[in-house]
Amino acid sequence: MAAQPGSSAGFYNPRMRLNRELCLSELKAALRPGPWRAQGGGGGGGEGLGAEGHPLRIFDAFASSGALAVRIALEVAPQCSRPLEVTAADIDAQCCDLAALNARSLNGLRVRRLHALVAPCDAADADAGAAATTEAGGASLAPRLASDPSGALVRVVCADARALVHLASPFEYAHLDPFGSCAQHIDGFAARAPHGGLISLTATDTSALYAHYPRVARRAYAATLERSDANWREAGVRVLCGALAVAAARHGKGMQPLHSCAAAHFVHVVARLERGAAAADRTAQLVATVQTPDGAALGPLWSGALNEPRFVAAAAEAAAAAEAREGASREDVAAAREARLLLKRSLEDAPALPPFSFATSDASPAAVVAALRDRGFSAARSAFDGDASKPGSSRRVRTDATAEVFAEVVRQVTTPRPAAG
């Protein structure tokens, strides 16, 4: 099987194993508190996923060989106290054949093959976002994609994800990994996300997001990026978050990133969407052009927090449990360990600090952080420098101190102290 699309129908990319581990850990973290509960006080936020007494609808929108959907059905569903309905979609019929084979024949899961049709439905169904579908054998399953009475664990749907998300009942968790940019898909998923639902994005157009081709970034994300600026990784993550934030606000919803990271070959974000004009206004206010410590004006991009500490901590615990799982293959253990270390590094960054970080030059980053804190400032190592899965590899520091104070601290840390006596 090919490692990327184009050479044959269906593909499985071993390099994206880390991304799948992150998705699984994040979904487990979201499910752990139970049904969605909004935080009181009018400031937005909350925890959990889905509505009390209703099944949870999970959507892998670009399933290809079905690797992620199958793992959700095998590893997440048995741990969940509520019914989990996993839908894997792909526009390529041969990919759907592979996904169904993977689920049924290779992993012993129950599978129902569906084809989504754009067909008339009554007003009540239209209001609910219902889908007209048929089983591969021809039996009608209209009006709701998620109302299959057989209790099939995995539904494999041959359809364009952008159409399906509008036709189907809303999904509490939707994952988009379209091999390239997520930009052209975000708007529809933001429009259909339920209150408290999660959207998970994995963008592999790093040539744009990491500013190798700034014109492509401007075309896809309407954002200015500069590769010469040392904060190019974080800027790429913030541009992707900003695209989701703008789409959410356009549809009267707020957006809160729960975990965001930059790896060598992808940018990954999982965020919660909440309905309401107040939430949308708070979100829109956090999309702006921001100046980096090196003087570049980048954006528009997301200027708010990129991680929610409690969520990231829960995801790291889930990754640690996967790493210790009995019977796991060596490859699965290695991927779970890599995910745990990446999440740990995200947790060590400080979400309340301003965007972008300073270079520590030859100074010890740990010593710079300690010296800044001794002076009463907040400081933390940036999670967007060095190897994403190696804590301690970052040499950049995020702080609320001014550039002048930071430079003074770096000089203080690097200046040798005179010998005693």
Domain range summary for the chain, segments of one domain joined by +: 14-323, 353-414
Instruction: Give, for all 421 residues of the chain, the pLDDT tens digit.
Output: 555 555 555 555 667 899 999 999 999 999 999 999 988 666 678 899 999 889 999 999 999 899 999 999 999 998 888 899 999 999 999 999 999 999 999 998 999 888 764 443 333 333 333 333 334 433 333 334 444 433 447 999 999 999 999 989 999 999 999 988 999 999 999 999 999 999 999 999 999 999 999 999 999 999 999 999 999 999 999 999 999 999 999 999 999 999 999 988 899 999 999 999 999 999 999 999 999 999 999 999 999 999 999 999 999 999 999 999 988 889 999 999 999 999 999 999 988 899 999 999 889 999 999 999 999 999 999 999 977 767 667 899 999 999 999 999 999 998 776 655 4
| Residue labelled with tokens 């609808």 | 57
pLDDT at res. 142 = 32
17: left (phi over 0), alpha (psi -120 to 50) or beta: alpha
Does the domain made of 14-323 have the CATH classification 3.40.1360.10?
no
CA 216 to CA 225: how far, in whole Å? 10
Cβ neighbour number for residue 337 with a 10 Å cutoff:
17
Q: How many residues does the chain have?
A: 421
CA 349 to CA 284: how far, in whole Å? 24
The highest-level CATH class for domain 353-414 is alpha beta
pTM exceeding the 0.85 threshold for the entire prediction: yes
Burial profile 281-304: b = 16 or more Cβ within 10 angstroms, e = fewer:
ebbbebbeebebbeebebbbbbbb
The CA-CA-CA angle for residues 28, 30, 35, to 5°, reads 115
| Residue labelled with tokens 């300690």 | 370
